[in-house]
Structure 1
Amino acid sequence: MSNITLKVNGITVQSNVDGNRRLLDFLREDLNLTGTKEGCAVGECGACTVIMDGKSVCSCLLLAAQCEGAEITTIEALHRDPVGKKLQNAFIQHGGVQCGFCTPGVLLSTKALLDVRPDPSDDEINEALEGNLCRCTGYQPIIRSIKAVLKAR
């Protein structure tokens, strides 16, 4: 067991976790933050993407104990951020959401990009989304949604 302290969605959390407890399971089962999804469990699909210390990461590949002192943002907090709220609205308006399974990860990958690159190029957007698989949209509605937010700035 490891005692960890981290900040999740702006709230300091302290917990004892098993050494093999993944961040994904800690968020979903211990903190009841179920917007983070498990898809592939091997870091290939991006459904479990969260923002950790400003970078998008696959929570299925991290142990909770590795996150000691980290700041984690999940989809549940995105609406509190002005850019995050605009992204969520644009995804709804422009069809970037279909089945919705990949959407939390895609939104968080995009938010992490926009935090460091407020006006990203098409290549930078594509690169930021490389780790997020979507079987429904063909990615064009996702890209349109992101560009709508950029245009509105």
Structure 2
Amino acid sequence: MMHRLTDVLVVDRNTADLLVQALDALEALAGRRNQRLAPDIIRVRMELNRFRSTSVDESTGVSDAIDEILSSTSGGWDTRTAARELGISESAVRQLIRKGRLDGYRHGGRWIVSARSVAEYVNERKDRESAGPQRDR
């Protein structure tokens, strides 16, 4: 099921899963032909992946989920800007993208990193650091 709000497309989790599978198949086909998906298509897949893994419970409510979608930034940074923001090297940023810790896509031979995923990574890192070392019990 799909619903359109002004400049926003809302899909249920099953539809998001199907769209991601279709985009993955399209990327595989493009790869076999030595071609790449357009950056906008890669961005759509990144957004679908992120939102299909977002959970909504009764306490959050649909309006909060829609607010989250609407407040999402689709902006991206190059690896140099992301590295500066994270205080790490550009190669470390690329490694985090490959590991799936940051959302990113290739455009014109360069990596573009989701500004939102950088912010989320910074927050996760702060949470880990404030929790201190974990001990086995």
Common fold by TM > 0.5: no
Larger RCO: 1 or 2 (CA < 8 Å, sep 6+)? 1
> What TM-score results when the alignment is normalised by the length of structure 1?
0.33
Higher share in helix: 2
